Structure 1
């Protein structure tokens, strides 16, 4: 018997064909997977831009801060187009919960749900109160406040301090703080010696509705029975207005005054806008009565353009 060398078989045509089909199939899988990942990244970017646009538009429309606008874009079934320009954002309904997005190229329209969260809010005194006064609900108002006014000592639940005794005098418009109150829930009013009792006494007529001026009063010690609601010596007069005509000789009492708005509807206020090295001075018209800290609409008296502003003081606003 003669031994012959073994023959190694070379891959046949069928095997090469199967390998080719396998490689082709894997290529198709990769190609189909890569665009989907790209689309996911694109949607994330598009939605981030749309969210910022909606927040800015809602802040302008509803006089709030963009961070207080919650935009609901998390649903993955919602696919936004890659608009060639910024979306046109409008609010066609009165529910304050729906934003309409329009895109010209590609032509597209969609409706997005939003939620307006309440901004920082604070309880403020609407009258000046004395040390020893017991806080009542009628002494307090609730108002929006800027983020910079946040204070860990601030009262967030009014019922926690109702009927509690103040341990210091407080001003109208001042934010309620825990440190203003004595530890005991209720108690007798703070007593002062009779000889220490003083009052602001009017030295001229103050008509009803007028803002108070300290020059119209003098601080005097009084004898005999003193009213329990006298305005304390450190009161901020510009924050008060007369509820009735105050006559010469009248003692200034809480029952005769109320919290005055810092700015009044249709009041003209001069504001300065700084842009780089350029300062522009304009006159704006106030849209409504408001107190310090509130965000309001004002109108440029020259152009008629509406603007948003924050009330910063008596007769003062800051353009946002």
Structure 2
């Protein structure tokens, strides 16, 4: 009996230890599997949410700018960007005139971010404002300019309004159709004023410039003009970046003082790339100006990604220094 009792005790102890060890291994394995699954699911979830947001951005930008989706790039690769699971569709808008930034909002999650986009190179196109019959004489008010990135160039397009002013239509045209060279008679009106022989080089807008937009040399070309010219023409390009349009300037318009006003160095809602350096560390960020300002002014700005408010000093046109 004594021998039997002696043999049972170690067997029971061994089985108990083995059972506990097995349960511990099972629990640890399950924990590791759960953690691994969570880690695997996290990036997949963000990828899916970013795809949903991207599709909505492509749809809105494509519709508003009249471009195909394959011409639009949406930059959502930043790992710091966390897109929420939104109960409703994101609200997408183009809040700035540069057309390179969209504002995405999820109201149910109280979430708003500015996201960079790029579209094929901008070009303007002329279209008719209304239906007009053959024989109609074209005036400035009959033509309007639109974003031409979605307009086919299979047929020769008219590029400047001077090419069609006082010309007679030889075909019936329809509102919002592009203005084609083939729509016009090559003969000008008999009473068109004969130009004088003196030629003067002037600045002529090559694209439509909206009111409030800062001027840039790339928006203008140099052309020779004959005859009597306005007395307030602007001939040089050195001062253009200090000026802004105070009305819509149409492609083909000759640049005049009456069309422009002095522009602030930084305008409200301008997006400015800044760089913060501290020792060997250098960080760049995109901030949005909350007010206009001149060189030397201190203005409030907000980080376009995080929404954090900052103060910055204007050191040059389009240039800030965080203080």
**TM exceeding 0.5:** no
State the TM-score, normalizing by the size of structure 1.
0.38
Structure number with greater Rg is 1
Structure scoring higher RCO (CA < 8 A, sep ≥ 6) equals 1
More helix by share: 2
